[in-house]
Structures are given as C-alpha cells and as structure tokens.
Amino acid sequence: MNITVIYNSSDSDEPSDQDTKKSAQEVAEALGAALFPITKSQIENIKSIKADLVFNLIEWTGHEAKYASQVVEILNELKMPYTGSGIYGLDVSNDKVKMKQKFDELGIPTPRYQIYDKEFIANNLQFPVIAKLASEHCSIGLDETNIVFNTESLREKIIDLRSQYDMPILVEEFIDGEEVHVSVLDKEGAPWVLPPDRIVFDESGKKSILSHNAKWEGGKINSNWAEFEEYDKELKSQIIDASTKCYIGLGGRSYCRIDIRVKGDDFYILEINNNPGIDWDEDNALCHSAKKAGFADFKSLLTHIVNDALKY
C-alpha cells in the first residue's frame, strides 16, 4: 500500500513542533511510508500527493488551527482516505469554548467554568481555579502559576496570558485529584475504548498538573502511572461510558485521547484531543493503553488505524 505521512514543518524551537516531526518520521519508518512536510504556504501542494492513504499528523492549533482544517478540506475534496480527525472534530477540539458548550449540551460532567475574552467579569466559581488558553494544546502557556486562589490573582493571570497569546482564556474550577487519560480507536465502525491510563501525582495542589515544562522541557515529572482497575466497578463504568459519549458527540474519528480528572468518586472530563500526538514512547498515553490492549508494537497499532481509515 502506498501511504504518505503529512505533518506541519516548522523552524520553531517549540518542543511540541519538534515532537511532531519526530513522530512523523517514526510513523513513516514503521509503515514504510513517504514523508510529506508542509508549511502554511504549501497546503495546496497536498493535491499533488499520489497515495492510497494519507496519515495526517498536522497539528496546527491556536491562531493557526484554520490551516489544519484546510488540510482536511482538501483531503475530503480529493476523496483521499486519511487518518485522524475530520473537520468537526478538529473544530471542537481546537476551541475549548465550543468544547465546553458541547459537554454541557450532552450532559457530560466537566468542571464549572467561565470564558474570559475582552474584559474581566465576575463569576461564581469556587477557588482554586485554573486558567488555560482556550485555543491551544500541548500544555502551551500552562504552569503552576495558572492555578490561582483569589480574584486578584486570577485577574493578573488572565491579563498575562492575554498579553502573551491574544486569545480567550478558559477558567475552570481546579479539580485537585488524579488524572485519567482515555484513548479511543475506531473499530468496525464503533468506538473502541482502550484500557485507560491512570496518573497519580506525587504532590497535590499546584504540583498536580502536567505542565508545559514537565511535558516538553525536561522539567520534573511529578506523576506516575497507576492501575485504572483499582477504581471501583461503578466509577470505571461511568468513565468509560462518558468517554464513549464524548467520542461520538465531539467528532471522534480514527483515534483520540480524552483527559479526565478524578476526585474521590467523582470524575470530570477536561477535554477531548481529536488529534493527539502518536508515538511508541512509554510516556505517551496512547502507546501505554495500546500495549495493554494487546498491540505488540508500533506498527501493529498504526496498521489498525490505517485499515480502519480505509473504511470511511
């Protein structure tokens, strides 16, 4: 089979951009595929691809998210089979405002939140709260100072983030607990929830987040894998059911990752990432879950994704 791996090429030193390139190289090597890097000015070049399938690793987000959608629009026009998210899934995954609204519409449990755009407005959220960029992924702009305990600190943090990134800010009640990452694949036209990954933090409070520094810049990882199966039967069932509902309702396609916080017997879905990073590193949630689901190696996981994508 003739497969082409496309990814967004960048001269940026941003670690997540470099990780995209590394992942694309590893996927291409595992599948014996061709590499096709593109920049924002080269999107139309996709029309020159001659392949049976495109493995889409484009990860433009934030102000550049529209370019990722353009890529998928062209693939749809060409009727070219491709892996990864469709237009709607990208749209809702790259806009946490739309994502939260969809959670509310579907009755999916999520932390109480407020969106801050042009001005600071009063809210009735319970402190501590965490401030996040509404249109970014990969923990960009996220560190311990994003968790704040009073109104004045929140105001200062919002101003700081707005001045740096020029986008709306999502503020939600901070769930100080454990984290669960749920990876979902398509299988025979239905969501297949892989064995979820449970993450236990070494410390509570401000230390219990997966910050940009910890993920990408060699900072201290204050967390460890733990057994999801140690949760009680009812909680496990509720998490899997909500993840399936989230995948179906928010444009899941091919593969995705859903991030969840658990505190006691309660859980809250933070977000769905319909275009997550994919590699075979032990610290990658999809890899971790895929191994527990019985995939022997990276190639077997990728082959499943490819074969499924050919059925769309």
- Give tens-digit pLDDT for 130-147: 999 998 876 677 888 999
pTM equals 0.93
- CA dist 58 and 76 (Å) reads 15
What percent of the chain clears pLDDT 70, i.e. is strictly above it?
Answer: 93
Domains along the chain with CATH numbers: 3-82 (3.40.50.2300), 91-108+176-297 (3.30.470.20), 113-173 (3.30.1490)
Long-range contacts of 103-110 (CB under 8 A, 24+ apart): 103/246, 103/269, 106/245, 106/246, 106/249, 108/242, 108/245, 108/246, 108/249, 108/269, 109/242, 109/266, 109/267, 109/268, 109/269, 110/172, 110/268, 110/269, 110/270
- Give tens-digit pLDDT for 235-252: 999 999 999 999 999 999
Amino acid at 232: D
As a whole number, mean pLDDT of residues 61-73 equals 92
- Give tens-digit pLDDT for 282-309: 888 999 999 999 999 999 999 999 999 9
51 has pLDDT over 80: yes
Please state whether 113 falls in left (phi above 0), alpha (psi between -120 and 50) or beta: beta
Amino acid at 288: H
The terminus-to-terminus CA distance of the chain in angstroms comes to 17
16 has pLDDT over 70: no
- CA dist 214 and 207 (Å) reads 11
- CA dist 283 and 298 (Å) reads 14
